[in-house]
Structure 1
Amino acid sequence: MALQRMLKFVTVGKETPEKRDATARAHDFNEIYREFAASKAAEQASRCSQCGVPYCQAHCPLGNNIPDWLRLTAEGRLQEAYEISQATNTFPEICGRICPQDRLCEGNCVIEQSGHGTVTIGAVEKYITDTAWDMGWVKPIQPAVERVETVGIIGAGPGGLAAADVLRRAGVQVTVYDRNDRAGGLLTYGIPGFKLEKDVVMSRIAQLEQGGVQFVLNCNVGTDISFDAIRGKHDAVLIATGVYKTRDLDGPGANASGIVAALDYLTASNRKSFGDEVPEFDSGALNAAGKRVVVIGGGDTAMDCVRTAIRQGATSVKCLYRRDRANMPGSQREVQNAEEEGVEFVWLAAPCGFAGEPVQSVRVQKMRLGAPDKTGRQSPELIEGADYDEPADLVIKALGFEPEDLPGQWATPALETTRWGTVKADFGTHATSLPGVFAVGDIVRGASLVVWAIRDGREAGTSILTWLTQPAQAAAE
């Protein structure tokens, strides 16, 4: 009986939630996709083929049980769909908004491969969880038994918060330390509101607080409190700091004013959305209004920057990327959204210098794609004599992020790192070289996706619970 509601991909076409008009949405920071209506969510969920081997689930870092919650949605059993969804995903309302589904679940949908158009998994996931919040199905954590053990988590981003959720559900006392004045990490300050409205993040943080997670904010480990002090206060520690050090540009004039880091730029914009005073924005240093903006990079952070600059009222916004469209790392859906909003992409182009103080132009080298590198991607090669100058009043560096020197900053040389500077941790247990210290997310992987940080945090939470029981077991023996 249940399957009669499914397998409708042959007769029902793919539909995504309606997008707000590009001209209108380019003037505000509200999310651009409208919500599915209940009937439309059920209809689109019914397109799922209920595969025997669900590739959507296999290609989800969290292993979300997607076919089951699609079937429950098609049957109108939304609360059960939410329970299945949140069983494997700490923040489904966030993943439904910002996961690159075109590269993960939807990109591997069987009916997409057969030419019928993918099931709109991300939009249905968002609909299920938004409904759960509206209906009051999302409850504060209530552990069955409180435990005496305490865990300190350094970093209130998705990895740290996912681990906090797992540990609190088991009754462990959890304290999260973060350098910012609000929890959430990049979810709060790095991702613009048009992709992830901030009340979505704040609601989840409030739910964790109501469940007993303690937050110590404006706390810079290594300055305000030592790492050793945190280890001394807790039975175990989780490092979930992320990577925030911006990769720098080379070439003459690279230190000119008007050349800014992507995260500084996005943070200033997000702080304004909270109503904070942001002197760097008000002075114009981190504000694109009335400026010719050039963003350098081709990842999702670059897409966030170009689309933010449009909304701030830039005169023009251009994105330089050294490879072509097919080889860029960012979401193709985000590129399309940016183009609709007025961003111009300049493919096969890389900066080699800057003129003016403050910056007035970028010297651009034209490139072509040559032989594949060790990753299989074609390497960009310089075309001699094809340089030109691109006028610019604001240049935003979105070249990726590198880890900070945590052993040096925290005076903890015994914390082992890799040759890339990331913390060395076991990929199964997430244990580091220090007893009782674990690490997750970008500080281990390098800059990656939010969904991978959530997976790491959930796994680490389980590993920490196992580790906490070992001393008690040893004493009993």
Structure 2
Amino acid sequence: MGKPTGFIEYKRQKTKEQPPLARIEHFGEYATRLSDKDLQTQGARCMDCGTPFCHMGIEIRGTAAGCPINNVIPEWNDLVYRGQWKEALDRLHLTNNFPEFTGRVCPAPCESSCVLGINEPAVAIKSIERSIIDKGFEEGWVMPRVPRTRTGKKVAIIGSGPAGLAAADELNQQGHSVTVYERDDRAGGLLMYGIPNMKLEKEVIERRIRLLQQEGIDFVYNTTVGVDITAEELRAQYDAVLLATGAQKQRELRIEGSEGNGVVLAMDYLTSVTKSYVRSNFEDGQAMNVEGKNVIIIGGGDTGADCVATAIRQNCKSVVQFGKHPKLPNARTEETMWPKDPSIFTFDYAYEEVDAKLGRDPREYCIQTEKIVSDTEGNIKELHTIYMEKILGEDGFHYFKELPGTEKVWPVDYVFVAIGFEGVERSLPERFGVELINNRVAATIKDYQTTVPGVFTAGDARRGQSLVVWAIREGREAAAAIHTFLAKEVVSL
């Protein structure tokens, strides 16, 4: 371990962030890393626990506990503390293909499971991880690794999100020839256009894509499998196919008035803004713009928070985010005891920004949207709600009870629907003839193979909407399964 008494002597430091009122003036990343000296101090806080729960990577009642890709965190914390940054980078890359992504957008279940976090602020694992990889690129330590030999086997990967990219990276390093098909004009999946630029600069993604290309991976853009190239053509040209398309079918709002002009799916809003910013710095006029408008976001999760942050940067008149659940507690409860995710109240970046500019936290809790009313031209003008109480029924299940007298009418110009994803878009799996279960492509983690031999799946397409770090894990494991499949084919020949 770094310093035996480090966890006693040093306090946790947050990543440096621009003040809220300054950062809402632009769409660039607002967080920067600490100095090398401060990061070494943060590395010293790691206790090198006998059982380091931070990298156990399991699920407890559906919630991640520890790092799903099993980053051996105490080792690179110690190396950073000792100033051995290149060695820390080598250790990090052994388990994580894209630490520059996870170091920015992962919610850090590793920190929730940090042993120090039982009674003190956890080790700043995420900040250290991001700093290791950023320093690696700055120092020129991250170089193309071109495989020395090729197996002669070809793999097609449909979807260039984190699962598809991780699988492509692994398979390419094993000597297989990999082609990634992407229906959009850039790689990255939701990382590229679904996550706002201020959380993840798109040059960070494109830098990694250039590296993967230099290592021998081919990317085919603006190509919809099933339209521009058929499933039959792909299966004929490649020895294996991986479906890594994500779970991009957004859940729609189905209430009275939800067909009005101004009711928009959250990911459509975020994508329009980010695409316009990346392609032309908004000069193309293609971004959905809420300047001077009253905005309501339905859905209390991270996607909704990203809509809040985007709207406040566009100088909206007002912004409110509705959630159906009660406000989270300020400390762990018996239901969220360590090492599970604590599920406690936090003041995310978006909420800090709205509070700084408009003087209030934009979140409303235990609120139900009853209907949306439009004007004679079909444009929405008001939204009707009622507050609720969450109660525990005699059967042990929680229910929501409406509270008469708490009805409210909200003026609104835009409603962004951020209530999650239903699963995969069905057209592609159906073209391959694979089985779907609960709107997911059916496959087990034993071999990630679908009901069609030679066709595999991984990431959100298989497990449903999840974290970037789970997608990377699935991509890595699917690649191992495909490699085994291809090796068996060689033996059978």
TM class by smaller structure: over 0.9
How far does residue 352 in structure 1 lie from its aligned partner after superposition? 1.5
How far does residue 4 in structure 1 lie from its aligned partner after superposition? 5.7
Residue 282 of structure 1: aligned partner: 285
Deviations 1:225-255 (A, max 9, x none): 1112111110000000011111111221100
2:69·2:473 contact (CA, 8 Å) conserved in 1? yes
**Compared CA separation, residues 171 and 45, structure 1 to 2 (3 A):** same
Hey, what's the Cα distance between the residues in 2 that align with 1:48 and 1:7? 10
Flag structure 1 segments of 5+ consecutive residues without an equivalent: none
Deviations 1:352-374 (A, max 9, x none): 11011211111112111112799
Hey, what's the Cα distance between the residues in 1 that align with 2:249 and 2:260? 19
- Within a 5 Å distance, the mapping from 1:381-396 to structure 2 comes to 381-396=401-416
User: Match for 2:461: what amino acid?
Assistant: I
User: Match for 1:382: what amino acid?
Assistant: E
1:141·1:168 contact (CA, 8 Å) conserved in 2? no
**Compared CA separation, residues 138 and 315, structure 1 to 2 (3 A):** same
SS, match of residue 156 in structure 2: strand
Hey, what's the Cα distance between the residues in 2 that align with 1:392 and 1:465? 53
Residue 60 of structure 1: aligned partner: 67
Residue 87 of structure 2: aligned partner: 80
1:10·1:116 contact (CA, 8 Å) conserved in 2? no
Hey, what's the Cα distance between the residues in 2 that align with 1:383 and 1:296? 19
SS, match of residue 203 in structure 2: helix
1:141·1:212 contact (CA, 8 Å) conserved in 2? no
Could you tell me which of 277, 291, 294 is aligned with 1:292?
294
User: Match for 1:106: what amino acid?
Assistant: E
Hey, what's the Cα distance between the residues in 1 that align with 2:81 and 2:219? 39
- Within a 5 Å distance, the mapping from 1:222-233 to structure 2 comes to 222-233=226-237
User: Match for 1:124: what amino acid?
Assistant: I
Could you tell me which of 434, 458, 476 is aligned with 2:476?
458
How far does residue 331 in structure 1 lie from its aligned partner after superposition? 8.0
Could you tell me which of 320, 323, 334 is aligned with 1:321?
323
Residue 431 of structure 2: aligned partner: 412
**Compared CA separation, residues 332 and 291, structure 1 to 2 (3 A):** farther
Hey, what's the Cα distance between the residues in 1 that align with 2:344 and 2:104? 15
**Compared CA separation, residues 50 and 210, structure 1 to 2 (3 A):** same
2:43·2:123 contact (CA, 8 Å) conserved in 1? yes
2:276·2:285 contact (CA, 8 Å) conserved in 1? no
**Compared CA separation, residues 413 and 221, structure 1 to 2 (3 A):** closer
1:5·1:75 contact (CA, 8 Å) conserved in 2? no
Is residue 2:340 matched to residue 1:337?
A: no
SS, match of residue 369 in structure 1: strand
- Within a 5 Å distance, the mapping from 1:431-450 to structure 2 comes to 431-450=449-468
2:249·2:425 contact (CA, 8 Å) conserved in 1? no
Deviations 1:416-448 (A, max 9, x none): 110x21100112221111101110111111111
Root mean square deviation of aligned Cα: 2.2
User: Match for 2:386: what amino acid?
Assistant: Q
Hey, what's the Cα distance between the residues in 2 that align with 1:295 and 1:331? 21
1:250·1:353 contact (CA, 8 Å) conserved in 2? no
SS, match of residue 349 in structure 2: helix
Residue 379 of structure 1: aligned partner: 399
SS, match of residue 482 in structure 2: helix
Residue 147 of structure 2: aligned partner: 143
Is residue 2:223 matched to residue 1:216?
A: no
Deviations 1:252-305 (A, max 9, x none): 1100011101111011111122134979x8377x21211111001011111111
**Compared CA separation, residues 377 and 171, structure 1 to 2 (3 A):** farther
Deviations 1:31-67 (A, max 9, x none): 2222111101101010001101001111110000000
How far does residue 333 in structure 1 lie from its aligned partner after superposition? 8.0
Hey, what's the Cα distance between the residues in 1 that align with 2:2 and 2:431? 60
**Compared CA separation, residues 411 and 46, structure 1 to 2 (3 A):** closer
1:143·1:170 contact (CA, 8 Å) conserved in 2? yes
**Compared CA separation, residues 417 and 4, structure 1 to 2 (3 A):** closer
Residue 422 of structure 2: aligned partner: 402
Could you tell me which of 105, 122, 126 is aligned with 1:122?
126
Could you tell me which of 107, 111, 114 is aligned with 1:109?
114
Residue 35 of structure 1: aligned partner: 33
How far does residue 386 in structure 1 lie from its aligned partner after superposition? 2.4
User: Match for 1:417: what amino acid?
Assistant: L
1:327·1:377 contact (CA, 8 Å) conserved in 2? no
Residue 63 of structure 2: aligned partner: none
How far does residue 410 in structure 1 lie from its aligned partner after superposition? 5.7
User: Match for 1:88: what amino acid?
Assistant: T
Is residue 2:221 matched to residue 1:203?
A: no
- Give the TM-score, by structure 1 length: 0.93
